[in-house]
Amino acid sequence: MPWHISTVVCHNRLIVQLNKLKLVNYRNYENFEGNFDHLKTIIIGQNAQGKTNILEAINILATAQSDRAEKDSDLVLWNKEHALIFAMIQTKDSELEIALQINPSGRRKLKINDVTKKAPQADLLGNFFSVMFSCDDLYLIKGSPSNRRNWLDSVIFQLDSKYHRTMQSYQKSVTQKNALLKSTRETGLSKKSLKEQIEVWNDQIINSGSEIISTRLNFIEEIKPIAKEFQDNISRYTEELDLIYKCTISACNDKEALQFLFKQSLEKSFEEELSRGQSVIGPHRDDLTFLINGKEAKSFASQGQQRSIVLAVKLAELKVIEKRKDEIPVLLLDDVFAELDESRQDFLLHNLPENIQTFLTTTHISNIQKEFLKGAQILEIKNGKVTEMAKCV
Ligand SMILES: Nc1ncnc2c1ncn2[C@@H]1O[C@H](COP(=O)(O)OP(=O)(O)OP(=O)(O)O)[C@@H](O)[C@H]1O
Ligand SMILES: [Mg+2]
């Protein structure tokens, strides 16, 4: 279907990246259609009406994953065969029509400009970039290691398309190795032959796992000084931020040394892995620590300080994507204004690139600063339907 791409229209309507979004049988939307030709889109609605669902769908276009859905079936409207996300995207050098079909089985289908793609997950990445900042992001500090790994991965997926393939092959090897470790009791395999079979998987785990660790380490080295500077400015130089990658092996940035250390750690933990029936060494068990003035933020920072860290990290994430991809990501602000005090709201608004396309959800328009409302398009959502649309308030 030919979708019109709008270009420069008026002084507060500049070129937008995401021109159009259509959702069919996605979460609580049987049919949603949004045309965006303003830099700011505000999505208003009571709780549980479908505001976050829209941002989540946009974020999937950039990261190929949802940070709140456990499986793809969660994304499909109950009892429907599949969900569809259609988008018209204007990148700096091309126009893309993306159609992503999500099936409850987990198998996805992707068409870009009507061409069916062979690897729907990996081929989706790198076309469109987004930074999602939500009130749940305090989990980055307070949550479990998997929350932090998911965040790391979702940013790196956008930056480096190879990383997604490496991650898939790593996860496959870990799953196979775990199945083997678990099955030893039933198969009665001798320790010697089990060790030989495990080594085959370990070689693959070492290969892809080392690549994952060094990509993550490089990313942390890149984002750290930027996040640190934002944190310095938010806290007026009273809170020094540090980020440390906590690796289950002694991580280092030399490829051969890393592979050697990885092998050594796996050999050492063979007995433990055998008795636990699962793989305990590798990037799937790694973590990230945020420190404030040398102390772990998870246990020492106040709620307000934790919010500042998340704000600094999110702004830094935006900068890193912009720098690496030479494209400003779309910003998705999910209910953050109710969480941030006035000074942090100001800090956010004054540290965003001028022409950034932003989608913002809220339950009450009064939560949003007047300055931000200028020139915004407003969608009102009620029970998965757009009930009102106002522009240029
Ligand atoms: N697969 C699905 N099929 C149908 N409905 C779903 C599905 N997944 C989620 N929902 C519904 O979507 C709604 C939640 O949408 P969403 O999280 O976008 O709400 P919200 O407007 O952001 O609310 P809040 O202000 O509380 O954050 C809930 O009513 C939930 O039951
Ligand atoms: Mg929500």
Dig out the tokens for 252 from the structure.
């280092």
| Mean pLDDT, residues 190-203 | 89
- Domain range summary for the chain, segments of one domain joined by +: 1-129+327-393, 144-325
C-alpha closest to that of 43 among 116, 134, 123, 118: 134
CA Rg value for the chain: 22
Pocket probe mutation, ligand 1, options 42, 49, 132, max atoms within 8 Å of Cβ: 49
CA 76 to ligand 1: nearest atom? 1
Rounded Cα gap, residues 133 and 312, in angstroms:
11
Question: Do residues 240 and 287 lie in contact, with contact meaning Cβ atoms separated by under 8 Å?
Answer: no
Give the model's pLDDT for residue 328: 94
Location of structure tokens 């246990």: 299
**Under CATH, to which class is 1-129+327-393 assigned?**
alpha beta
144-325 topology per CATH: Glutathione S-transferase Yfyf (Class Pi); Chain A, domain 2 (1.20.1050)
Kindly report, residue by residue over 43-96, the tens digit of the pLDDT: 999 999 999 999 999 999 999 999 899 999 999 999 999 999 999 999 888 899
Rounded Cα gap, residues 228 and 231, in angstroms:
5
| Mean pLDDT, residues 210-228 | 96
Helix runs in 99-190, H state only:
120-124, 139-142, 145-159, 161-187
Kindly report, residue by residue over 90-118, the tens digit of the pLDDT: 988 889 999 999 999 999 999 999 999 99
SS3 269: coil
Question: Do residues 34 and 377 lie in contact, with contact meaning Cβ atoms separated by under 8 Å?
Answer: no
- Tell me the one-letter amino acid at 356: I
Cβ neighbors of 278 (< 8 A, separation 6 or more) are 178, 181, 182
Q: Whose CA is nearest to atom 8 of ligand 1?
A: 27
- What is the whole-number distance in angstroms between the Cα of residue 136 and the centre of ligand 1? 15
- Tell me the one-letter amino acid at 29: Y
CA 361 to ligand 1: nearest atom? 22
Nearest-5° angle of CA 146, CA 251, CA 182? 55
Length of the chain equals 393
- What is the whole-number distance in angstroms between the Cα of residue 163 and the centre of ligand 1? 31
Pocket probe mutation, ligand 1, options 51, 60, 332, max atoms within 8 Å of Cβ: 51
More confident residue, 184 or 198: 198
Cβ neighbors of 97 (< 8 A, separation 6 or more) are 3, 86, 87, 88, 89, 111, 112, 113, 114
Q: Ligand 1: which residues within 6 Å by Cβ?
A: 27-28, 45, 47-53, 74, 76-78, 335, 363
Output DSSP code: residue 10.
B
- What is the whole-number distance in angstroms between the Cα of residue 55 and the centre of ligand 2? 9
Question: Ligand nearest 73 Cα, by number?
Answer: 1
Helices (H) and strands (E) in the chain, counts: 12, 15
Kindly report, residue by residue over 349-360, the tens digit of the pLDDT: 999 998 899 999
Rounded Cα gap, residues 120 and 139, in angstroms:
29
Cβ neighbors of 209 (< 8 A, separation 6 or more) are 170, 262, 282, 283
Pocket probe mutation, ligand 1, options 26, 46, 53, max atoms within 8 Å of Cβ: 53
